[in-house]
Structure 1
Amino acid sequence: MSEPSTEEEFTARLRALSSRYWDSHPFHLRLHAGELSKDELRLWAANRWYYQRCIPRKDAAILANCPDQDVRRQWRERIVWHDGERAGEGGAENWLRMAEALGLTREEVLDERHVLPGTRFAVDAYVTFARTRPWVEAVASGLTEMFSRGLMTRRLADMRERYPWIAEEGFTYFTTRLKVIEGEGKSTLDLVVRNCRTREHQDAAVAALAFKCDVLRAILDAVDYYAVGGADRTTGRS
């Protein structure tokens, strides 16, 4: 069996997967260039909602599989961030406000009428991965946090400039998420490095992160394919 990588080498292997992140996906490039129609933005928001609503389920699966009390105490805060302490709060609620700012009704987002099969398949596979794989691998899959702050910062600036018709309250998800994402990414990386001490475990962590990158790109593949094929079919609005 191969010797484990050093912490520096292991970290470098994880960071090298940034090229597989979804920031360079054609749909994201069009979004940032201001080239999306209102219907395409609505389609994106409705499909991204399905991913947002499943994140707490993914995190709950990690908690269920993790025997370490300290890790569970740390990780449960993520569920609270997304679900909120009470109704009307949290990251999921803020994403619904984004969808409403784009012109979707809360009802049509919540009933998932616009969620595409490819999106549902990819996100469900991610939840299943977290439920069935060792907890450290599921945590490692979330290391896309290492890559997301730059994309989110750019998205907030570009959407404000390119889509000035979006009300400012629609950006609350991004403004609040930016306050925590960097710290979460650092703590998640430390957790993975600390708990992956064999080459086998390190390889599994790298594979888990690659899988998550594929999940994210698969979501945009579905949205992009449908949008290019006829965005007007999304909501029937201009």
Structure 2
Amino acid sequence: MVEAAKLDRVLNPDELRSALEAAIRGKSANASPFSRAWAAGTLSREHLSRWAENHYHYVGPFADYLACIYARMPEQYVEAKDFLLANMYEEEIGGDRHTDLLIRFAEACGTTRERVVDPENMSPTTRGLQSWCYAVAMREDPIVAVAGLVVGLESQVPSIYRKQTPTLRDKYGFTDEEVEFFDLHIVSDEIHGERGYQIVLEHARTIELQARCLKICEVGAQMRLLYTTALYHDYVQPRAENDIGLAA
């Protein structure tokens, strides 16, 4: 593993790819207790409702994050700009709006569209993740921002949902239509994540820029892990402790 703080030369594309992957490894949201409980089928539909209400406020503005990066991406980086634009299109108008699919799942869990879109129903940690995404998109070098949001965050999605989606069908009995949000992102985010990698590999060509990309990729993975872990502590653990108290 090449650590960002220890870069003493420009990495070639293969080395940089390995270093980016290593920056995420061990920090995937799959490691959170909420994700593990979901994959094991031990969450309730109420817990999944709280996830959907929070997740909306993280992924709902994703096209906005990308738009901020797009506006600051150097004009000559045509393919990178095209990718960002296509990603925004897919999120918002390229078929079903992704947030509408998320709300469909949320309603199947037992919550309502009104609760999902109400920002009062997101936890402080979710608010922090959303704010971090906006800050990265608006302030960081555009290539660094792609590393943080697309590589550090979006590229994780297929591995997370591949573990959770079968449980939604087999354990909870959701229909294909109700879990379309997950099926769609297993495919689309694998493509998006790979394009994010390619943009970083092509345009991060200095020690300083590579180091920043590696660091923000690591931080992005940590942010998603923290957000997902907080869902467990905010919604699952208190109920479990209350149930134990009632049993006593």
Does the CA contact (< 8 Å) of 2:83 and 2:195 recur in 1? no
Q: In the alignment, does 2:195 pair up with 1:179?
A: no
1:3 to 9, 15, 22: 9
Q: CA 1:118–1:181 in structure 2 vs 1: closer, same or farther (change >3 Å)?
A: closer
**C-alpha offsets along residues 176-234 of structure 1, whole Å, 9 cap, x if unaligned?**
2223222222221111001011111111001111121122122123211112123899x
Under a length normalisation based on structure 2, what TM-score does the superposition of the two structures give?
A: 0.86
Show structure 1 runs of 4+ deviating over 4 A.
none
Alignment-derived partner of residue 178 in structure 2: 170
Does the CA contact (< 8 Å) of 1:146 and 1:185 recur in 2? yes
Alignment-derived partner of residue 236 in structure 1: none
Alignment-derived partner of residue 77 in structure 1: 86
Amino acid at match of 1:24: A
Structure 2: segments with no counterpart, 5+ residues: 1-6, 243-248
Q: CA 1:170–1:39 in structure 2 vs 1: closer, same or farther (change >3 Å)?
A: same
Alignment-derived partner of residue 64 in structure 2: 57
Distance 1:151 1:119 in 2: 18
- Displacement of 1:143 in angstroms is 0.6
Does the CA contact (< 8 Å) of 2:31 and 2:225 recur in 1? no
Distance 2:44 2:167 in 1: 15
Amino acid at match of 1:209: C
State how 1:36-47 maps to structure 2 within 5 Å: 36-47=43-54
Secondary structure of the 2:43 match is coil
- Displacement of 1:85 in angstroms is 4.7
| RMSD (CA atoms) | 2.0
Does the CA contact (< 8 Å) of 2:69 and 2:145 recur in 1? yes
Identity %: 22
Alignment-derived partner of residue 245 in structure 2: none
Amino acid at match of 1:2: D
Distance 2:52 2:240 in 1: 13
Structure 1: segments with no counterpart, 5+ residues: 234-238
Distance 1:53 1:232 in 2: 32
**C-alpha offsets along residues 123-177 of structure 1, whole Å, 9 cap, x if unaligned?**
111211111111001100121444332222222112211211x333221111222
Secondary structure of the 2:121 match is coil
Alignment-derived partner of residue 125 in structure 2: 118
Does the CA contact (< 8 Å) of 2:87 and 2:192 recur in 1? no
Alignment-derived partner of residue 128 in structure 1: 135
Q: How many residues align?
A: 230
Does the CA contact (< 8 Å) of 1:18 and 1:147 recur in 2? no
Distance 2:9 2:171 in 1: 50
- Displacement of 1:45 in angstroms is 1.1
Amino acid at match of 2:90: W
